[in-house]
Amino acid sequence: MKHCVNAVLAGVEQLDADTFAHVYRAPEIARDARPGQFLHIRVSSQTTPLLRRPISILWSDGAVHVQTLFKVVRSGTALLAEKREGGLVDIAGPLGNPFPAHDDLDAVMIAGGYGISPLFFLGGMLNPDDGRFVMARPRRRTLLYGARTAEGLYLRDRLADKFDEVIYATEDGSLGARGPITGVLGAVLSERSNIALYACGPTPMLAAIINQIGFHKTHSRTPCWLSMENQMGCGVGACLGCVVKTRDGFRTTCKDGPVFAARDLIL
Amino acid sequence: MADLSARIGSLCLKNPVTVASGTFGYGLEFAEFYDPSILGAIFLKGLTLLPRAGNEIPRLVETPSGLINSIGLQNIGIDEFAARKWRELEDIDSAICVNISGTTVGEYEELADRASRVPIVRAIEVNVSCPNISHGGVEFGRTPAMVREITAKCAAASRVPVLVKLTPNISDIVEIAAAAMEAGAAGVTLVNTFLAMAIDAEKRRPVLSNVMGGLSGPAIKPIALRMVWQVWRALRCPIIGMGGIMTGTDAIEFMLAGASAISVGTANFVNPAAGRDILSEIGGYCERHGINRVSELIGAAHHDK
Ligand SMILES: Cc1cc2nc3c(=O)[nH]c(=O)nc-3n(C[C@H](O)[C@H](O)[C@H](O)COP(=O)(O)OP(=O)(O)OC[C@H]3O[C@@H](n4cnc5c(N)ncnc54)[C@H](O)[C@@H]3O)c2cc1C
Ligand SMILES: Cc1cc2nc3c(=O)[nH]c(=O)nc-3n(C[C@H](O)[C@H](O)[C@H](O)COP(=O)(O)O)c2cc1C
């Protein structure tokens, strides 16, 4: 069930110069939130900027609080970063479809930058020792995590209880393998079978993942779920502003997504 | 509690708050936020004869207090609507109005006929902001002659009242509204979006894939209000007013200018319960001002003191 609430900003954490984590007190939203779903946040009570900003759910305790992690890009996210603890924030959510989960397949999650957010949540929900409930019980949970530099790899100290294994890549080589994370993915795809892929990151990264799967014929049936980013209007499938091209024609990112099966997408 | 009922010609609404075509999907997208049955009317996403894929993205760009869209009329087409989609709306106790768009007069006529046969449909809204391919792509809504023709044909073909949704991209809104009313419209809806564009200075390119789009939201409110004022002053005809309405006060202003009902568009994106909130704010206004019937407000700003 979707709700629109004035949530108390119960916690603010600054992760680096332009990255923040927020904790909101929003029980109606926290109860229903699933990994891959997003919040639609009104950043200003004025009319500029007019539209809400979509931000993934980083975590929900299932009862009271939801968390986000976001990067300041331009004016909307800058206004969000100015919010102070104890203030109210107008939030609609949870919106969109969550990641499906596969029980008997090893989970390989691929994150780019702040794309870690829904996968952090998913990692927890796939882990009987960590999640408040378990969506599925894969034998192994692997995170492949890439960014331009080591600073762009968020929450590094908090990944151990969500994932059995974390492999990093940075484009400048400052941490983990040098180059894009999809380079690491190639090796994983060559070595492993019986896996399910879950990914969130910039669109070029998602397109590269689709390409990689194409190279590995053994993975033609591997489930692969991609969480897309797209500029949104309404957030509920009404305005048709945020469409992506799929084999089935244009589909909305906000309502039909943001999680899509890789095989359906035309990027 | 004031009497909130509204009339647009022969179309009776339980209250003056409606939601604008293209901003409320096919009627159910906001249903988890509030019950759409509380609305006076729901204008569905514009339908065409054949389904349309719409434009490439970017389809939206934010501007100061506004939004430019170039969705390109993505819709399921009249066949799908008339065969199946309407059944999802059967339980909504609000006047369902179908917004239609065509590229020839014949298409509009066929759409008006077919949409008006769908049992739940209470009115047809003719979107005249579409290019007329028989006239070199000039929008139908640009000349009184084309508006007159299309209104007359749709009114003859439809079994339910026909409203004409006017484009503001003209020099004299009154002569266009007059053409629609003379040709048999039950009322006019004004206004549609204003032709606009945005350019990305860094990329040195237009932002929208379609280059131009329609501006909506608070940025257009003063101009939309002025147009409602002019049409009411000249014609005293039923008007559904819209353009940047965000609050109950905005809605009241449109009624004072001459609107019999109002439509909430872009505000639905900003506040998913905008329809509900604006309705309750109108009720509150009537109470505070001792208004017994909301219809007393229609055109009241024109009255001499
Ligand atoms: C489903 C989804 C989940 C997201 N999750 C996160 C997250 O967890 N953390 C995070 O930091 N960011 C996330 N984003 C991206 C975030 O929405 C944008 O960075 C933000 O909207 C930028 O707003 P702005 O005003 O700062 O930028 P501006 O460029 O001024 O924004 C102008 C318009 O473009 C839109 N826009 C700009 N960049 C993006 C983008 N990358 N994706 C979608 N819309 C954009 C804005 O919403 C706004 O409508 C997510 C996007 C989507 C679609
Ligand atoms: C995303 C979007 C889609 C729209 N689609 C239609 C449409 O299909 N048919 C139509 O007649 N008007 C359409 N409109 C125009 C609105 O119905 C309304 O006339 C306009 O947005 C002005 O009102 P507002 O400022 O309250 O949004 C659309 C507007 C928006 C923002």
Same domain, A128 and A231: yes
Per-residue pLDDT tens over the stretch A110-122: 999 999 999 999 9
Query: Which parts of chain B sit beneath pLDDT 50?
Result: none
The DSSP bridge partners found for residue A70 are A20
Per-residue pLDDT tens over the stretch B232-277: 999 999 999 999 999 999 999 999 999 999 999 999 999 999 999 9
Same domain, A23 and A45: yes
What's the DSSP call for residue A17? T
Looking at the complex, does the CB of residue B140 fall below 8 Å from at least one CB of chain A?
A: no
pLDDT at A15 over 80: yes
Contacts of A1 in chain B (CB under 8 A): 32
> Where along chain B do its domains lie?
6-55+73-197+216-297
Contacts of A3 in chain B (CB under 8 A): 32-33
Residue A214 lies in a domain: yes
* Pairwise CA distance, residues A136 & A125, whole Å: 7
Same domain, A80 and A191: no
Which uninterrupted H or E stretch holds B179?
Answer: helix B173-182
Per-residue pLDDT tens over the stretch B123-142: 999 999 887 777 777 789 99
Same domain, A193 and A255: yes
Q: What CATH number does the domain containing A87 carry? A: 2.40.30.10
> What is the whole-number distance in angstroms between the Cα of residue B247 and the centre of ligand 1?
26
pLDDT at A52 over 80: yes
For residue B157, give both structure tokens.
Answer: 């073909």
> What is the whole-number distance in angstroms between the Cα of residue A2 and the centre of ligand 2?
24
Same domain, A173 and A231: yes
End residue of a domain, out of A67, A95, A123 = A95
Residues of B involved in catalysis? 130
pTM for the complete prediction?
0.97
pLDDT at B303: 85
Same domain, A115 and A71: no
pLDDT at A132 over 80: no
**Taking CA atoms, what residue in A is nearest to B269?**
A234
Contacts of A236 in chain B (CB under 8 A): 25, 29-30, 272
Residue nearest to atom 12 of ligand 2 (CA): B21
Q: How close, in Å, is residue B64 to chain A by CA atoms? A: 6
- Start-to-end Cα distance in chain A: 30
Question: What's the Cα-to-Cα distance from A37 to each of A11, A119, A200, A207, rounded to whole Å?
Answer: 20, 11, 12, 21
At A114, phi and psi to the nearest 5? -70, -5
Helix axis angle, B274-288 relative to B248-257, nearest 10°?
A: 70
Structural domain total, chain A: 2
Contact B71 A234 (CB under 8 A): no
Q: Which of B17, B18, B19, B23 to mutate to test the pocket of ligand 2 (most atoms within 8 A of CB)?
A: B23
At B294, phi and psi to the nearest 5? -60, -25
Q: Out of A52, A92, A239, whose CB is closest to B23?
A: A239
Per-residue pLDDT tens over the stretch A54-73: 999 999 999 999 999 999 99
Interface test with B, best of A6, A31, A74, A234 (most B CBs within 10 A): A234
Contact A240 B54 (CB under 8 A): yes
Same domain, A67 and A153: no
Same domain, A84 and A115: no
Contact B29 A255 (CB under 8 A): yes
What number of other Cβ atoms are within 10 A of residue A248's Cβ?
Answer: 9
Residues of A with CB under 8 A from a CB of B: 1-4, 42, 47-52, 92, 230-244, 249-250, 255
Same domain, A85 and A125: no
pLDDT at A140 over 80: yes
Residue A100 lies in a domain: no
Per-residue pLDDT tens over the stretch A209-264: 999 998 998 998 999 999 999 999 999 999 999 999 999 999 999 999 999 999 99
What number of other Cβ atoms are within 10 A of residue B303's Cβ?
Answer: 7
Same domain, A231 and A260: yes
What is the residue range of A192's domain? 106-264
* Pairwise CA distance, residues B181 & A5, whole Å: 43
pLDDT at A131 over 70: no
Tally C-beta pairs within 8 A across A and B. 99
What's the DSSP call for residue A263? G
Same domain, A60 and A183: no
Q: Which of A55, A122, A205 to mutate to test the pocket of ligand 1 (most atoms within 8 A of CB)?
A: A55
Q: How far is CA A59 from the centre of its chain?
A: 10
> What is the whole-number distance in angstroms between the Cα of residue A108 and the centre of ligand 2?
43
Fold adopted by B6-55+73-197+216-297: TIM Barrel (3.20.20)
* Pairwise CA distance, residues A58 & A121, whole Å: 5
Q: What CATH number does the domain containing A218 carry? A: 3.40.50.80
pLDDT at A58: 98
Which uninterrupted H or E stretch holds A112?
Answer: strand A106-112
Same domain, A126 and A250: yes
- Residues above pLDDT 70, as percent of chain A: 100
- Residues above pLDDT 90, as percent of chain B: 95
Write down the ipTM of this complex. Answer: 0.96
